[in-house]
Chain A
Amino acid sequence: MLQVNGLDVHYGQAHVLQGVTLAIGERPLAVIGRNGMGKTTLCQAIMGMVAASGGEIAFGGAQLRGLPPNRVARHGIALVPQGRRTFPSLTVQEHLVLASSGARGSWTIERIYETFPRLAERRRNGGTQLSGGEQQMLAISRALLANPRLVIMDEPSEGLAPVIVDHLVEVLRRLPGEGMGLLLVEQNLGVATDVCEEVAIMVNGRIATRMPSAELLADEVAQRRFLGVSSGGHH
């Protein structure tokens, strides 16, 4: 579905992405790695939010590199960004109206409210009056309403209470059944391996290796080497 080839991104002198090559098919893929390894930059480069200096991004036959974010979105990619980035001036309902202007599909505003009853209760609340978990649900809803073929989520579990993270994992596990691809960037190994059967590990702006989740969970040496952690739980 998505084929990233030799993608380079520079921030001034810093070479942040160094020839990233990554293919994503129908099955969800997690990208994990420590802070500062280039995970967020990868998400933003695919989305057209930062300029890539080299390489290519092919998606369903189209070449995406160099397109502005709105054109990338129209090709069927949606982003749940790091830090959620909901719009403080807009209410929950207004977010959903704005987001549902794209392709028609199985996700509608009604269905969002059924899936996230909490958002229905807070439909008139502004983006800043929501809790972290509610904001994350809203950011995910904003992406789903575009009825994309691929959702990129950048650290959706960051800063959420454990019980909210469990709910999030439940929602994410249902997405592949919708025929929707998922690229999940996570620091939380538990979330990544619960949602995706395969993980790619990012080190210093490159994809260092790619392996089945079960294999990484069993390999504490690899966990320590790539992530500096050794536990497989959510918390």
Chain B
Amino acid sequence: MTGGLAATVVLNGLTLAALYFIVASGFSLIFGLMRTVNMAHGSLYMLGAYIGYAVFEPLYDQDVWWAWHAGILAGIASAAVFGVLMQATLLGWMQGQELRQALVTIGVSIIVADQLLAYFGGTSRQFFAPDAIFGSTQVPGVGRYPTFRLVQIGIAIAVGVALWLLLNKTKLGLMIRAGVDDRQMLAATGINVPLVSLAVFALGAGLAGLGGVIGSTAQPLVQGVDVRFLLTSLVVVIVGGMGSIAGTAIGAILVGLAEQIGQALFPTYSVILTFLIMATVLAVRPQGILGRPA
């Protein structure tokens, strides 16, 4: 590999990592507080993307400058609402029964995928970002690079900082962290834990929806992305450590880089590299790089 190509591959890996972080941080947040392995997290990604697109398209056709922004908001809102409904109607009743929750959310993901296929069909779609972030930018050592990919990194950093502030500087953050430690004792302190759970589910699902629109701006939205992003989220949080935001960032960077470097060096077997990382982490440090022992 030449130096320029190597730099491009690394930058590709980092921009992909940014997207993975946005999606997986929501997954990790939900798991951290509720021990719910939400197997429908990829569906929330896909749902947010399609509903965001349904809002975006007519506005874009009329040349409205905020079409993309509206798509993002619709993507976040629809995923958040769906996540809250899922927690309130299905998962809240089986708190602490991880296997049952996993099975139920797999069921939900199958239904959502079929419904989306029925309404939106199988053709691929793609958002168009606003002109200001659409073209390409000169990056030293790389050359011209899609501006939106760089914005993606900025959004991921903003999400990371916002999550850090929320968890460390707000009362809701205190409740979430205390709930990760000891849900029952948090309730005995007078806090309505199911309500905190709903807020966390809205937040985690909203991040999946945000990821859906961002991801479908960078690459086409097609059926099947739900499974892809669910698997990636699982790998990212297993590598980084369940429930840790910093761990999720590290996991996302490792997986993003591994995928891109693998595709550049040995395209056919690149998937192996990702799972090699996961297997190594599981063997050496089963709780993940920044995870706490169970």
Contacts and interface: CB of A to CB of B under 8 A. Distances in A.
A146 B182 CA distance: 18
A209 B200 CA distance: 48
A4 interface: no
B174 interface: yes
Interface string B157-201: 000000000000001001101101110111111111100000000
Contact of A98 (B175, B184, B192): B175
A102 interface: yes
A97 B177 CA distance: 13
Interface string A89-107: 1100010011101100000
Contact of B171 (A48, A70, A101): A101
Interface string B50-82: 000000000000000000000000000000000
Contacts of B191: 70, 98, 101
Contacts of A74: 190
**A48, A79, A98, A101 — most chain B CB neighbours (10 Å):** A98
Contacts of A142: 189
A70 B193 contact: yes
B190 A102 contact: yes
A95 to B, nearest CB: 8
Contact of B181 (A72, A79, A89, A146): A89
B190 A49 contact: no
A89 B188 contact: no
A90 B181 contact: yes
Given A69-B184, A85-B182, A90 B189 contact: no
A97 B178 CA distance: 12
Contact of B174 (A72, A78, A94): A94
B185 A85 contact: yes
Given A73-B189, A98-B189, A142-B189, A87 B181 contact: yes
A68 interface: yes
A45 to B, nearest CB: 12
A73 B188 contact: yes
A87 B181 CA distance: 6
Given A94-B174, A97-B174, A101-B171, A88 B188 contact: no
B190 A90 contact: no
B190 A73 contact: yes
Nearest to A74: B190
A45 B154 CA distance: 50
B88 to A, nearest CB: 16
B200 to A, nearest CB: 15
Contact of B188 (A81, A90, A94, A101): A81
Interface in A151-175: none
Looking at chain B's contact residues, is the secondary structure mostly helix, strand, loop, or mixed?
Answer: helix
Nearest to A102: B190
A90 B178 contact: yes
B184 A89 contact: no
A146 B174 contact: no
B181 A88 contact: yes
A88 B178 CA distance: 8
A70 B175 contact: no
Contacts of A20: none
B188 A47 contact: yes
A69 B182 contact: no
Given A98-B171, A101-B171, A87 B188 contact: no
A72 B189 CA distance: 10
Given A69-B188, A81-B188, A90 B174 contact: yes
Nearest to B190: A73
A146 B185 contact: no
B181 A70 contact: no
A49 B184 CA distance: 7
| The 7 residue pairs across chains A and B that have the minimum distance between CB atoms | A73-B190, A69-B187, A69-B188, A87-B181, A89-B177, A87-B178, A85-B185
25 contacts: A48-B187, A49-B187, A49-B188, A68-B187, A69-B188, A70-B188, A70-B189, A70-B190, A70-B192, A85-B182, A87-B177, A87-B186, A89-B178, A89-B181, A90-B177, A94-B174, A97-B171, A98-B174, A98-B189, A98-B191, A99-B189, A101-B171, A101-B191, A127-B181, A146-B189
Given A73-B187, A87-B182, A102-B190, 13 more contacts: A47-B188, A69-B184, A70-B193, A81-B185, A81-B188, A87-B185, A87-B186, A88-B181, A90-B177, A97-B174, A98-B174, A98-B191, A101-B191
